């Protein structure tokens, strides 16, 4: 049986292995001490609960293949809550799209800033429906050309985009407008009157599906072993532990910037693809400090955006987001230095993709590079950056390899 090596064990690497389990002798190589990448579940021993800090939610409309996989694995999921709040303390602004009570808060109804936001939300919905004439226009230029108010941009649109992609505000404004608008339309986010999809979260933590996959398979899994070089001419993978692994086929499921550094003797097409997406490192803090949340407790939402200069400070309230049955409020916060050190449970660092090219362009580059020298690429970075995108990239590579 031919040897297939897979570098990276996030959704794209693990799904690739699962789909190709009957075709190859498979070795998975992972730099971390756990399997899963952004599927990262934690255990809070004090109250005997599991919660996540990476991949958390999914829905039927936008995650059809992931839903199908979970059903195949008999993994249970439950309804989640996707409420959102924005706080900008320097102007005394606090808003939550949680329910009719928070949306129609008397303080906001008589606020000119809030009324400007509402007006442009409605206008954005109409403009978003039309096809962009220029697919290369940046989000910043699109917003300026359409004369959206500063209030709409700063108090609603940028916080939402920044929260969705875990990117700084100055990065978001350089995204291609078509990339953002297509995503908003696909997820029904452009129209506040549209029926939104019902969101779900996996019971007992997202790594439940990983456990199920590993129960059904017999992969050779190597953890805590960072790949240092891939020689595609000799078909050899070298790791920091001075180990070498020979392969016949190779799937690279690491982030594209990491893969760029690892893969030697890159072809022109491989080089073009792997340099098409940048990354931003985000510091993740799991904690119990309630001071990071909106002052008005009615505005506490699942997603809570707070301005801290131009830095993204996003806090997930895990109790609401994942239906945690516990007395302690558990939060997952990105990029904040304001959290009480005594209330910190854990610190992590994740890298998130920054999309400066259109999805169409990245797809074109991928199509040209896949399969050269029996090397394939998977990852959420080949789509919009989410779990379904990672799974879809694995399905695509599975089909490409089977054609051969």
Q: What is the pLDDT of residue 210?
A: 97
> Which two tokens mark 150?
């500063």
Question: Would you tell me how many other CB atoms lie within 10 Å of the CB of residue 67?
Answer: 18
> Which two tokens mark 67?
């839903």
**pLDDT by position in tens, the chain (length 404):** 899 999 999 999 999 999 999 999 999 999 999 999 999 999 999 999 999 999 999 999 999 999 999 999 999 999 999 999 999 988 888 888 764 444 445 455 546 777 888 889 889 988 887 777 788 899 999 999 999 999 999 999 999 999 999 988 888 999 999 999 999 988 888 776 667 789 999 999 999 999 999 999 999 999 999 999 999 999 999 999 889 999 999 999 999 999 999 999 999 999 999 999 999 999 999 999 999 999 999 899 999 999 987 677 999 999 999 999 999 999 999 999 899 999 999 999 999 999 988 889 999 999 999 999 999 999 999 999 999 999 999 999 999 998 66
Question: Would you tell me how many other CB atoms lie within 10 Å of the CB of residue 352?
Answer: 20
Calculate the alpha carbon distances from 57 to 160, 315, 316 in Å.
16, 15, 12
User: 83-195+281-354: which CATH topology?
Assistant: Polyamine Oxidase; Chain A, domain 2 (3.90.660)
SS3 243: coil
Domain layout of the chain by residue ranges: 3-42+206-277+358-403, 83-195+281-354
The candidate with the shortest Cα–Cα distance to 278, out of 137, 141, 172, is: 172
Q: What is the pLDDT of residue 358?
A: 87
> Which two tokens mark 286?
């799991």
Buried b (16+ CB within 10 A) or exposed e, 195-220: eeeebbbbebbbbbbbbbbbeeeebe
Residue range 350-402, pLDDT digits in tens: 999 999 888 899 999 999 999 999 999 999 999 999 999 999 999 999 999 98
Q: Which helix (H) or strand (E) holds 3?
A: strand 3-7
How many CA atoms lie within 13 Å of 24's alpha carbon, on the beta-carbon side? 23
CATH number of 3-42+206-277+358-403: 3.50.50.60
What stretches of 46-106 adopt beta strand conformation (E)? 49-52, 57-59, 77-79, 84-88, 93-96
Q: What is the pLDDT of residue 98?
A: 60
């Amino acid at each position: 049986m031919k040897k297939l090596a897979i570098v990276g064990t996030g959704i794209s690497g693990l799904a690739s292995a699962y789909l190709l389990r009957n075709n190859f002798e498979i070795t998975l190589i992972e730099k971390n001490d756990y399997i899963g990448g952004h599927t990262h579940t934690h255990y809070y021993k004090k109250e005997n609960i599991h919660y996540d800090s990476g991949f958390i939610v999914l829905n039927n409309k936008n995650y059809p293949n992931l839903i199908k996989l979970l059903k195949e694995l008999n993994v249970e999921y439950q309804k989640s809550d996707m409420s959102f709040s924005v706080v900008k303390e320097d102007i005394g602004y606090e808003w939550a799209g949680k329910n009719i009570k928070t949306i129609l808060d008397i303080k906001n109804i008589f606020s000119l800033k809030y009324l400007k936001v509402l007006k442009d939300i409605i206008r954005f919905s109409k403009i978003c429906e039309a096809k962009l004439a220029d697919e290369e226009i940046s989000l910043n230029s699109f917003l300026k050309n359409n004369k959206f108010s500063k209030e709409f941009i700063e108090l609603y649109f940028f916080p939402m985009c920044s929260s969705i992609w875990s990117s700084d505000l100055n990065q978001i404004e350089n995204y291609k407008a078509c990339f953002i608008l297509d995503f908003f339309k696909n997820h029904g986010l452009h129209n506040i009157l549209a029926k939104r999809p019902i969101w779900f979260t996996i019971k007992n933590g997202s790594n439940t599906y990983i456990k199920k996959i590993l129960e059904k398979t017999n992969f050779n899994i190597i953890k805590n072993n960072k790949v240092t070089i891939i020689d595609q001419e000799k078909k050899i993978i070298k790791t920091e532990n001075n180990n070498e692994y020979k392969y016949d086929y190779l799937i690279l499921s690491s982030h594209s910037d990491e893969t760029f550094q690892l893969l030697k003797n890159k072809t022109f097409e491989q080089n073009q693809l792997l340099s098409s997406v940048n990354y931003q490192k985000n510091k993740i803090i799991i904690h119990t400090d309630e001071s990071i949340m909106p002052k008005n407790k009615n505005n506490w939402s699942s997603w809570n955006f707070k301005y801290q200069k131009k830095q993204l400070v996003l806090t997930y309230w895990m109790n609401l987001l994942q239906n945690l049955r516990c007395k302690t409020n558990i939060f997952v916060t990105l990029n904040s230095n304001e959290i009480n050190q005594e209330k910190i449970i854990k610190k992590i660092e994740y890298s998130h993709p920054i999309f400066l090219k259109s999805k169409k362009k990245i797809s074109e580059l991928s199509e040209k590079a896949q399969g050269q020298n029996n090397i394939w690429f998977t990852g959420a970075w080949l789509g919009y950056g989410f779990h379904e995108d990672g799974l879809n990239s694995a399905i695509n590579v599975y089909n490409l390899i089977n054609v051969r």
